[in-house]
Homo-oligomer: A and B are copies of this chain.
Amino acid sequence: MSEPVVPVAIGPDRPAPTLVEKAVVEGGAVVSDLDEARGLIWVGKPADFPPLPESVEWVQLPAAGVEDWFTAGVFARYPKVRFTSAAGAFAASVAEHALMLLLAGVRYLPEHLRADSWRQQDFFPHVGSLRGKTVTIVGAGGIGRALIPMLTPLGAHVIAVTRSGHPITGPDIPDSVETVSTDQLGKVWSRTDHVVVAAPATPETRHLIDADALSRLKPSSWVINIARGPLIDTDALVAALSSGVIGGAGLDVTDPEPLPDGHPLWTLPNVIITPHDSNPPQLRLAAFADHVAANVSRFVAGRELLAPIDPRRGY
């Protein structure tokens, strides 16, 4: 007896993006037209969202934040359909970028790249390692959480700072990871070697990394920001970098952003700027396809879906 075929449509485009078609097949379903589909992978905008036939039980949306779909009334129109977002799908690429910035800083890569001769003795004392060092991740949502299992195999100790302070757990999170609540943030700086800023931008988190926080770090500390520019007080950061209060900064986001030509952050030798490109378009599609494959496979098997949207909670 052959297994039942699960038809899943992709919209609005036919031909659909190849990676997404492959993901549907990889997940164990077959790509079908919408009018016979049990699932729909929607890669378009809310405004173009199609009328759903009765057969559709599940819709995968392409964004991590789905405010626009609420505004468009999509969920209210289909109360019996399960919707999933792409929340979590894009975290890994940004976390990898944060790891790259941190390692490049700690291992003194900017100065290496300026060299045109073999300056081994000059460089030796400046090459550091994450082994045995404490990395404080401020904000442990998708990105911060994804970064933890990338750091611990390097022998780094991780302190995760979250709003609640509830311990972060999971099969890929070692027991040694500490979680502290945001209101205890002032107490972790003295134990911190490096900081990764991964918190959402809210009025409360504006200038979370200010002159006072920077002054409690070490002359070897690197500060990485892959979240939002305003989480760091830029003037205080420039002062700390210029005076050697901290070791350096790796910034995928800045305040102001884009960073204007001639800004001091462009010329400080201990700064790495990447222009908010930690998750570029071609990686987004691949990450979305991975997420689709995982959810199709769960749908086919009748298992719980990743990133379910709860219309009552609003996300």
Which residues in A have some Cβ–Cβ distance to B below 8 Å?
Answer: 92-93, 96-97, 99-100, 103-104, 107, 109-110, 112-113, 115-120, 123-125, 127-132, 149-150, 153-155, 172, 257-261, 266-267, 272-278, 280-283, 286-287, 290
Docked Cα-Cα span, A158 to B117, in Å, equals 33
Q: Which residues of B contact A258 (CB under 8 A)?
A: 118, 120
Q: Would B150 and A116 count as touching, CB distance under 8 A?
A: no
Q: Would A100 and B96 count as touching, CB distance under 8 A?
A: no
**Given known A-B contacts A116-B267, A124-B280, A131 and B275 have beta carbons under 8 A apart:** no
Among candidates B119, B123, B131, B257, residue contacting A92 with C-beta atoms closer than 8 Å: B131
Q: Would A286 and B131 count as touching, CB distance under 8 A?
A: yes
Q: Closest B-chain residue to A257, C-beta based?
A: B118
**Given known A-B contacts A127-B280, A131-B93, A109 and B104 have beta carbons under 8 A apart:** yes
Q: Which residues of B contact A153 (CB under 8 A)?
A: 149-150, 153, 172
Q: Would B282 and A112 count as touching, CB distance under 8 A?
A: no
CB distance from A213 to the nearest CB of B (A): 26
Docked Cα-Cα span, A128 to B277, in Å, equals 10
Q: Which residues of B contact A290 (CB under 8 A)?
A: 131-132, 155
Q: Which residues of B contact A99 (CB under 8 A)?
A: 103, 154
A-B contact pairs, 17 of them (CB 8 A): A92-B154, A93-B131, A96-B107, A96-B131, A96-B154, A100-B107, A103-B103, A104-B109, A107-B274, A112-B272, A116-B266, A120-B275, A123-B280, A125-B282, A127-B283, A153-B153, A153-B172
